[in-house]
């Protein structure tokens, strides 16, 4: 019997096409004392036969992922800081121009985007359930409500602050299975001519790059222009723009508006045509992804095993959420990669989820350089390789595993 579940957007049948088995929570960096309490779930992904939305087969309770100790920081990359500064400036110039404009950000994290808005003096509110990162935003002068955004939160914000001209969410909407409550909430909160802008990993890029490590507990949905257009319609919105973004290995920034209030851009039509021509939701395409992932699962540990035999040192670079899928699915532990370095202080001194590879500071990377670095933060490759030029100059090599296993 094929494994199926019920679509979180349209209640249609979701058919599984990729199964990673039991996996830990990708951002649950553990101390040796709490190893016994590690939480595991079945990580598998499927596609809705009705609305084509790609989604996880099993939902992890949100409080297990997003809490006081949630370690991910938006400010961890210079490229992302610039990215968020650019979108903040764009909103200020084009949307937040009325007498008393108001912008709400869902998943405002450490305030990297809203900090720019706060500096300009424009009324804003971040909605962020993870207390630790919300405190960091507040310390930057950002107004934050420590809460999960949903229908009730939206009604409460509207009552206190009035309607929002812009609701923005980066790498957050795809984290939220209870989409009906979110879109009803946005409908409640958004001014009549306002826009809802969100950006998330693009499923077409995941296919093209075989970036299977984008699949983990927090990434519940994998959007396409087609599935987002249908989702928007279903909840009384219109998809008016779709912009491809180079960040995080390829994303799309979607703009939703109330029907008829904004012209629909040519980009929407073009991307729909591209998706259809590429057959990104065809069973053969999805099966192709599954077999390429299987190949990586064979080749990556084989390469690491060979290097170990030859006595070469390999260090992991970037204790990403994505790396949880790679290490646990491919069976890579401290015997193949003795430690992984990461700039996030909250991850250092802990062990990676499931695979239990110690996380150390970037200083450990240089002390002395290993012969190989396995780049888990491949989405920041340019920034990291530039920063680590001396590693190259010292003869070091990078190991990449998407779209295929290779040494550069």
What is the x/- site pattern for ligand TYD, positions 318-347, by CB under 6 A?
Answer: xxxxx-------------------xxx---
Among 107, 250, 316, 318, binds ligand SAH (CB under 6 A): 107
The Cα 293–Cα 374 span in angstroms is 17
The two three-digit tokens of residue 267, written as one number: 């980009």
Candidates 185, 196, 276; CA nearest to 238 is: 196
What is the x/- site pattern for ligand TYD, positions 342-371, by CB under 6 A?
Answer: xxx---------------------------
What is the x/- site pattern for ligand SAH, positions 132-151, by CB under 6 A?
Answer: -x--------------xx--
Site for ligand SAH in 157-216 (CB under 6 A): 170-172, 175-176
Q: Is 396 helix (H, G, I), strand (E, B) or coil?
A: coil
Residue 383 is a binding residue for ligand TYD (CB under 6 A): yes
172 binds, options Zn ion, ligand SAH, ligand TYD, none, Cβ within 5 to 8 A by partner type: ligand SAH
Site for Zn ion in 46-65 (CB under 5 A): 48, 50-51, 53
46 binds, options Zn ion, ligand SAH, ligand TYD, none, Cβ within 5 to 8 A by partner type: none
Strand ranges of the sheet holding 40-48, from the earlier edge strand across to the other edge = 4-6, 13-24, 40-48, 54-56, 221-222
The Cα 117–Cα 119 span in angstroms is 5
| DSSP states along 283-320 | HHHHHHHHHHHHHHHHHHHHHHHHHHHTT--EEEE---
Among 190, 206, 280, 384, binds ligand TYD (CB under 6 A): 384
Compute the least distance from the CB of residue 318 to ligand TYD, in Å: 3
- Which CB sits closer to ligand TYD, 252 or 377? 377
Candidates 239, 288, 281, 287; CA nearest to 50 is: 281
Pick the stretch among 103-111, 221-229, 259-267, 273-281 that binds ligand SAH (CB under 6 A). Answer: 103-111
Q: Is 402 helix (H, G, I), strand (E, B) or coil?
A: coil
Burial class (CB in 10 A: 0-12, 13-18, 19+), 228: buried
51 binds, options ligand SAH, ligand TYD, Zn ion, none, Cβ within 5 to 8 A by partner type: Zn ion
Helices (H) and strands (E) in the chain, counts: 14, 18
Peptide bond into 403 cis (omega under 30): yes
The Cα 267–Cα 240 span in angstroms is 9
Whether the CB-CB separation of 65 and 107 falls below 8 Å is answered with no
Among 64, 90, 387, 406, binds ligand TYD (CB under 6 A): 387
Compute the least distance from the CB of residue 139 to ligand TYD, in Å: 19
Residues that contact Zn ion, how many (by CB under 5 A): 8
Compute the least distance from the CB of residue 344 to ligand TYD, in Å: 4
Residue 106 is a binding residue for Zn ion (CB under 5 A): no
Site for ligand SAH in 18-77 (CB under 6 A): 66, 70, 72, 74
Residue 223 is a binding residue for ligand SAH (CB under 6 A): no
Please report where in the chains the tokens 């229908």 appear, as a residue: 151
- Which CB sits closer to Zn ion, 12 or 131? 12
- Residue 297 CB neighbour total at 10 angstroms: 18
- Which CB sits closer to ligand TYD, 268 or 374? 374
In a 13 Å sphere around the CA of 93, the CA atoms on its Cβ side amount to: 6
Compute the least distance from the CB of residue 116 to ligand SAH, in Å: 13
74 binds, options ligand SAH, Zn ion, ligand TYD, none, Cβ within 5 to 8 A by partner type: ligand SAH
H or E element at residue 103? strand 102-106
Residues that bind ligand TYD (CB under 6 A): 72, 76-77, 318-322, 342-344, 377, 379-380, 383-384, 387
């Amino acid at each position: 019997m094929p494994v199926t579940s019920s679509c979180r957007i349209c209640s249609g049948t979701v058919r599984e096409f990729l199964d990673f088995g039991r996996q830990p929570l990708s951002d649950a960096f553990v101390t040796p004392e709490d190893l016994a309490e590690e939480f595991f779930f079945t990580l598998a992904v499927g596609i809705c036969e009705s609305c084509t939305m790609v989604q996880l087969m099993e939902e992890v309770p949100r409080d297990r992922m997003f809490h006081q100790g949630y370690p991910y920081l938006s400010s961890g990359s210079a490229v992302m800081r610039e990215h968020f500064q650019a979108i903040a400036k764009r909103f200020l110039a084009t949307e937040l121009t009325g007498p008393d404009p108001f912008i709400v950000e869902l998943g405002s994290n450490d305030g990297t985007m809203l900090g720019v808005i706060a500096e300009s003096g424009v009324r804003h509110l971040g909605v962020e359930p993870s207390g630790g990162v919300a405190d960091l935003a507040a310390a930057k002068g950002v107004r934050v409500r420590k809460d999960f955004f949903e229908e009730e939160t939206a009604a409460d914000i509207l009552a206190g602050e009035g309607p929002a001209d812009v609701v923005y969410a980066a790498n957050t909407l795809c984290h939220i299975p209870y989409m009906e409550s979110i879109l009803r909430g946005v409908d409640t909160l958004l001014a009549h001519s306002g826009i809802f802008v969100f950006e998330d990993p693009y499923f077409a890029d995941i296919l093209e790059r075989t970036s299977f490590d984008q699949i983990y507990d927090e990434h519940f949905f994998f959007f396409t222009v087609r599935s987002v257009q249908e989702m928007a319609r279903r909840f009384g919105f219109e998809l008016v723009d779709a912009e491809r973004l180079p960040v995080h290995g390829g994303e799309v920034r979607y703009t939703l508006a109330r029907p008829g209030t904004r012209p629909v851009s040519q980009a929407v039509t073009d991307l729909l045509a591209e998706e259809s021509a590429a057959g990104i939701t065809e069973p053969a395409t999805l099966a192709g992804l599954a077999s390429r992932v299987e190949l990586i699962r064979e080749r990556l540990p084989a390469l690491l095993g060979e290097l170990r035999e030859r006595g070469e040192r390999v260090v992991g670079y970037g204790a990403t959420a994505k790396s949880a899928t790679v290490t646990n699915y491919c069976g890579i532990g401290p015997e193949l990669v003795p430690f992984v370095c990461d700039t996030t202080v909250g991850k250092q001194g802990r062990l990676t989820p499931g695979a239990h590879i110690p996380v150390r500071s970037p200083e450990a990377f240089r002390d002395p350089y290993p012969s190989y670095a396995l780049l888990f933060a491949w989405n920041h490759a340019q920034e990291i390789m530039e920063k680590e030029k001396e590693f190259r100059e010292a003869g070091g090599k990078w190991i990449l595993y998407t779209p295929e296993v290779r040494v550069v």
